[in-house]
Amino acid sequence: MGSLAAEVGMNVRTLHRYFPAKADIVWGGIESSIETLATELDNAAAGRSILDAVAGAVAGVFDQNADDLAIMRTRLRLIALSPELQANRSATFEGWRHAIIQFVASRREEDAGSLVCVTAGTAMHAAIMEALSWWALRKEVADPAGCIAEALHGLSALGEG
């Protein structure tokens, strides 16, 4: 943290005021994405499947931050390669899981605490994170939203086999 503080021209105490831990630096900056995700989910067409709606909502988040894809890829690559960073997921990213669970509950007209809503929302959230890690580690793949859609639709294939 000392080297980083010196590089950006501040003392360590000031850096810690904004980022209490190293993980906060990497995970920081995604706070607005939870609002965008929730809005996109709220605006999803009623006729779309839950998987399509979640994939579309995540694509909407990326559309708003399209200029930052190189930074996002670097950030996600760091997370994918660091067990410490994976273990210290941000509260905002956990907010994504909660928003997806709430969406599943709303669509199914069930309580958000029901087993199916929690497990389905958590499975989609995990699929999103794994798809983002996969995308971040492969420079030849340009579209994170496409990776997420493919991963989410892969979950539906589990019921077919």
pTM score of the predicted model: 0.82
Residue 2 inside a domain? The answer is no
CATH of the domain at 88: 1.10.357.10
Whether the Cβ atoms of residue 34 and residue 100 lie closer than 8 Å to each other: no
Backbone angles phi, psi at 29, to 5 degrees: 95, 0
- What is the 3-class SS of the chain, one letter each residue? CHHHHHHHCCCHHHHHHHCCCHHHHHHCCCHHHHHHHHHHHHCCCCCCCHHHHHHHHHHHHHHHCHHHHHHHHHHHHHHHHCHHHHHCCCHHHHHHHHHHHHHHHHHHCCCCCCHHHHHHHHHHHHHHHHHHHHHHCCCCCCCHHHHHHHHHHHHHHCCCC
Task: Flag whether 14 is in a domain.
Answer: no
Residue 141 lies in a domain: yes
Let me know if residue 16 belongs to a domain: no
Q: Which two tokens stand for residue 125?
A: 């959230």
Indicate the number of domains in the chain. 1
Which residues touch 134 (CB under 8 Å, ≥6 apart)?
Answer: 141, 147, 151
Q: Is residue 142 part of a domain?
A: yes
Question: For helices 144-157 and 50-64, what crossing angle results, to 10°?
Answer: 170
State the residue range of the domain holding 30: 22-157
Task: Please check whether residue 6 lies inside any domain of the structure.
Answer: no
Residue 100 lies in a domain: yes
Mean per-residue pLDDT for 33-52? 92
Residue 6 confidence (pLDDT): 78
Say what the pLDDT of residue 117 is: 97
Within-domain flag for 83:
yes
Q: pLDDT tens-digit profile of 90-145?
A: 666 788 999 999 999 999 999 999 999 999 999 999 999 999 999 999 988 888 99
